[in-house]
Amino acid sequence: MPDDLPESLLRALLPELAEAVANAAAPGLQEIRLRVGQPVRLRQAAGEAALPLLWSKSRQDRQLMRLLDNSVYAYEEQLKQGFITLPGGHRVGLVGEAWYDEGRFGGLRDICSLNVRVARQVLGAAAPFLPWVVQKGRVLRSLFAAPPGVGKTTLLRDLVRQLSEGSAGLPPLNIGVADERMELGAVVNGEPQLDLGGRTDIISACNKARAVEILLRSMGPQLVVTDEIGSAEDAAALLGALNAGVGVLASAHAASYAELLARPHLGELAAGFFERVIFLARRGGAIVPAAVYDGRGERLL
């Protein structure tokens, strides 16, 4: 079993699945894909691996109830969003047949696929980015962009942790996190499963616009942080933070500056709202700045 395979994750799996994963996983396990009628597949740093374990509907049902601690009701709202957050911060995405109640989306049933995403905190991941984000004694409004899987959430998590405790010559900051997808802090039963620092307040599973509004009204943050922005509502929420005199850090899916500018709402934010737009890359397993732009769109790196 790899040294970096979390015990909290193995405890959430069916015994036969936990044993198969522990025996076959390589270092850097990222995802466990469970599709009915297909072999279990692992996505890890070295690439994909298929396990000699055929995933049946019976196993899927038993695994789902284990994840839900035999209480569908307790996870009802998360299920409507298509994910479950587990102790340890691990996140399980799920898809199946959608059902509706009087025309409104009610949730999913007959779950056919589960995607177990392994949560890992990378302490120090933000170090290469701090000189670009903190200048002249303040945090610049910054957007971090990359395709899925590069490490945007990991980076934001460590930036929040470091800035909350005091870093890059700044005193400790009070930070409000709008964690709509419950990935940054991964709060379970009121307790963050991942370290966002001692001066961070988290609102989970709430749309970003409402979450930012509540944080500004209730918690008085000096910095607001949110993940995966893209809608007009998200843009309005960030402008509300600016009008309140609060700093902003956010992330978005985009592979290039041109792609970012072409996306509705994001392009306007990138060109006028954010003072830094930073693209991420992975090199030698580390997350690094690949390109940095200022608020005028001029490339700095």
130-294 fold: Rossmann fold (3.40.50)
Q: Given this model, what pLDDT does residue 156 score?
A: 97
- The domains of the chain are located at 7-117, 130-294
pLDDT digits (tens, 9 = 90+) for 47-62: 899 999 999 999 999 9
Instruction: Say if CB 295 and CB 272 are below 8 A apart.
Output: yes
Count of C-beta atoms within a 10 Å radius of residue 123: 11
Residues 6+ positions from 119 with CB-CB distance below 8 Å: 6, 88, 89, 90, 91, 183, 186, 193, 194
Per-residue pLDDT of the chain (301 residues), as tens digits, is 777 889 999 999 999 999 999 999 888 899 999 999 999 999 987 889 999 999 999 999 999 999 988 777 667 777 778 888 898 999 999 999 988 888 888 778 889 999 999 988 899 999 999 999 999 999 999 999 999 889 999 999 999 999 999 999 999 999 999 999 889 999 988 999 999 999 999 999 898 989 999 999 999 999 999 999 988 898 888 888 888 899 999 999 999 999 999 988 888 888 789 999 999 998 887 899 999 999 989 999 9
Helix, strand, coil percentages (3-state) for the chain, rounded to 5, are: 30, 35, 35
Classify domain 7-117 at the CATH class level. alpha beta
Q: Given this model, what pLDDT does residue 73 score?
A: 63
Residue among 46, 48, 19 nearest 32 (CA): 48
Provide the β-strand partners of residue 192.
Answer: 187
Q: Given this model, what pLDDT does residue 137 score?
A: 94
d(CA 170, CA 4): 32
